[in-house]
Amino acid sequence: MSVMSPSRTAGPSARSRVVEERPMRNPDASSRPIMTKRGWWLVALNFLMPGSAQVLAGNRRLGRFGIATTLLLWVLLIVALLFALLAPTAGLSIVTGAWLPDWLALLRPLPLLIAQGLFLAYGVLWVVLTVDTLRLVRLVKTGTWSRFGIALLAVLLTVVSTGSAVYASNVAGSVRNTLGAIFQATGPVVPPSDGYYNILLLGADSGEGRDSMRFDSISVVSVNAETGATTITGIPRDMPNFPFAEGPMQDRYPNGHESHGDPTCGWGSGINQLRTEVEVCQDGNALYPDAVSRGSEPAIEATKDAAEGILGIEIPYYVFIDMHGFASLVDALGGVEITVEQRLPKGGPPEGVDPYNVDAWAIGWIEPGTQRMDGDTAQWYARSRYTTNDFDRMKRQRQLQEAILAQFTPQVVLTRFQEIATAGTALVKTDLPQSLIPALADLAVKAKEEPVSTIELTPEGGIDEYHPDYAYIQELIQTTLHPPTPTGTPEG
């Protein structure tokens, strides 16, 4: 009588138990239902936790690498979210490299470059893991219709996952390129002056059908360094005989800016004549030899000195807005909502046509009422002048500035980031240093909770159009920016 070996008796049942206990790694390939169910699970697990399909059914080393990379990415994203919620200024400083000293300014793009590379590499890894997962599924062993469904689901999930990674990489790259294109890599950070960051905001009157580059819109944005409260002071472009702050222009005009009637190259006494005077009729680089190296221009520096002399405040920085790109920014933001008070024409009169015969040259009209303007309409709304005066136009420009600031919500920026970044690169030029970005971004968040105040130096605001009282203007600015603290009435 033969006795069966225990090992031979236990072998088949042990192998069966292994197949039953580990169906992902050792499935019954002859059962289409089992292989179909397994295929759906592997594709879903690959999407939920990249690498888990390989750990369960394939190359464990590749799977562990995928899971470790995924966990690392999630940890970094959670840390970034905590910084955004609890310490946004510090987080932005780290990401933009603003914490690096000026002598290491070339390394400031490195954090965003690393982030861009990590997202891109993770997207590639996800594709590799998905292809390997489909290999593990063994589609030919699944049900006839399921094999198409499983493959389609894998492709769709891969498009979602890798598309998200590539989008995040593009955003990091766009931020890096935008910061480098707009802001100065180096430069001194000027501390707040009397509690305010003051920035000269200039709009060029260049655009289609215009051959000059005088500053058409001149204003000063004062941002409270503690609360983010913003005050915009509009300076009429023709404001005459203004004083200059200490500098080369004050040396030339100790008693206020004067006109020059030379027929070959003359200029008026208005503030928007400074570009003609400094950069066309004179050698601006001799007046302001360091302007270009600091990311500015002689005419801008002269206008800074003029604005400081008019308002009596320190203005270390400027932002120049080119009207060529203004429409693109408005379109990138999805338009702006404006309440129009009077009918305004679009377009301008061709040479030889009476500018006040509006019906002869208007290419369209902006009708009264509340409306959402696209970029082209908003640009004409800011520039239209033949049926109104310059002071009305200043009010409209300030109205647009406030509408644009209001449109910069987190939702709009996140959903339209690429368009905004592209428009901003073509639109803005500034001498603001990159190291100041975190502080200004923090104040911008605070400013969303504060109303924007405006001061218009116009007859409506009590300022004489032809003979402004500059001492009164400076007192008005100080009172507005530093209102007196109310004192209680003593009892009795």
Query: How far is it between the farthest Cα atoms of the chain?
Result: 131
Question: Sign of torsion, CA 431 436 177 159?
Answer: negative
Name residue 462's amino acid: G
Buried b (16+ CB within 10 A) or exposed e, 89-115: bebbbbbbbbebeeeebeebbebbeeb
Name residue 63's amino acid: G
Predicted confidence band at 12 (pLDDT cuts at 50, 70, 90)? Answer: low
pLDDT at residue 426, rounded to an integer: 65
The 3-state DSSP class for residue 224 equals strand
pLDDT at residue 411, rounded to an integer: 64
Cβ-contact 27, 58 below 8 angstroms: no
Bridge partners for 371 per DSSP: 338
Instruction: Supply 62's token pair.
Output: 């590749």
Look up tokens 């702006």; give the residue: 336
Pairing of the two strands 336-340 and 317-321? unpaired
Q: Rounded distance, CA 460 to CA 458, Å?
A: 5
Domains of the chain and CATH, by start: 23-182 (no CATH), 196-239+304-481 (3.40.630.190)
Bridge partners for 204 per DSSP: 215
Q: What is the pLDDT of residues 36-60, one digit of tens each?
A: 999 999 999 999 999 999 999 889 9
Q: Rounded distance, CA 280 to CA 273, Å?
A: 10
Q: What is the pLDDT of residues 348-397, one digit of tens each?
A: 777 777 777 887 788 888 899 999 999 889 888 888 877 787 788 888 88
pLDDT at residue 81, rounded to an integer: 87
Give the mean pLDDT of the chain. Answer: 83
pLDDT at residue 251, rounded to an integer: 94
Q: What is the pLDDT of residues 418-440, one digit of tens each?
A: 677 676 676 678 888 888 888 88
Nearest partner of 32 among 131, 154, 150, judged by Cα? 150
Nearest partner of 376 among 423, 416, 326, judged by Cα? 326
pLDDT at residue 303, rounded to an integer: 95
